[in-house]
Amino acid sequence: MSFFDLKGTGDLHCDKTRRIVEVDLAIQAVNGRTRIHCSPSNSDRPYELEVLAFSAQSPELRNVKIESAAGTLSADHLANVHLNYRSSFNENEPLLITQLASMPGKRHTLTLEAGYLTLSNSNLAFDFEPSEPITGFQLMFIGSAQNIKSFRTSLVIGNQIVKIQSYGNSHPSLAGIIVVDAKEQISSEHQEALSLALELYLRQKVSFLAELSATNALLNLVDHSTVSFSALTTNASYSLIHIKAFIEKNPKYRTYLRFLTEMAGNSGTIDDRLLNGFVALEALFDGRKLQKDKISRRLNISTITAESIVEIRNTFFHDGRSIKDALNFLLEQKLKHPKAAIIPLLQALIQREDASWIVYSSFADLMYTHFATLVGLDPETIRRWSEVDLRDDSWFQKLEVQKRKKPLTEP
């Protein structure tokens, strides 16, 4: 969902008829795109787009004004606005399919309210008159509030100390909001490093939401949906200092870090998230072919576990299978070679109804354990998602034990 649903007024300039229509505006993010819905302010009847006659590429929205509790947002001109429907005096008659919604004898027409304007950029810049005085700059990000506790900390960003407040799920209207207070404006380069550090610590995707100053506001109107299961550790201050320092010192790891975040915070299925995790794994080896011996040494796991990761990854990429289907397919193939070392591992997983979650969560734990080691955190302090630890050579045998014991604990 989008955090912003803005309502205000503006003037819609029709380039072909030179008409100016005063409109009420509703600005919101829909299906990942920023839309502006317009309706006439001084008329009860909808305007036909054909009568207004402005081309799809050149409508102009001027004198925009939005009132909010925080203050007044205004813009003389919103740039790069486009109409989703083409409309001019010279266009062809509507296609047959558009006539199906109309009674016989009536012609289907598009109205101003039936269409909407889109923006090529989701960032909207406004002049800002705050309700209360603002000193310095306030930067806001948004992520998932699910299972995230609030925290306060500070970091050195560039040449200044900034204060960070995460509201987590502690406030109904601020859920998922992270506010950064700074005395000076934070450069785009430092903003990128800061947001990546927050993502890696919170193990979720974080979106830029807004930047406010005493005179200006920059708002990002996109779908901010994301997921999260927990932050990396319980110590935000200590962890963020180490993560940010690692990001700044190791630019070559950016691809790895980006897909590590996608593995945890992508709002898609766990199959999609695991796929991103495999891309992160490849990035650790500079895009070279994954080899079980190298994975075993680097991630501190057995060669059998490393082999299973490679096999599942290959089935994902080459066959497009889900986690569960990949496990069934691999077992079927390996049983043709009864001495294959990963057969017991696959059999233990397939017997579990939650096999997909076991594979995803245990691999995510493994990747974040390695990440913790890279940045200088104690791996034992990492909050785990999975009931098994892939660094334990007998982890799949414990899955079988748990399955046999389970009926005894049920009522």
Condensed to tens digits (0 to 9), the pLDDT of residues 111-150 reads 777 677 887 777 888 999 998 888 899 999 988 766 667 8
Low-confidence ranges of the chain (pLDDT < 50): 1, 87-91, 405-411
Q: State residue 126's pLDDT score.
A: 93
For residues 95-128, one letter each, b for 16 or more C-beta atoms within 10 angstroms of the residue's C-beta and e for the rest, the string is eeeeeeeeeeeeeeebbbeebbbbbeebebebeb
H helical segments located in 123-221: 188-202
CA distance readout (Å), 206 to 248, 277, 319, 406: 18, 17, 31, 38
H helical segments located in 96-161: 96-99
**Inter-residue contact 80 to 63 (CB < 8 Å):** no
Q: State residue 330's pLDDT score.
A: 94
Q: State residue 58's pLDDT score.
A: 65
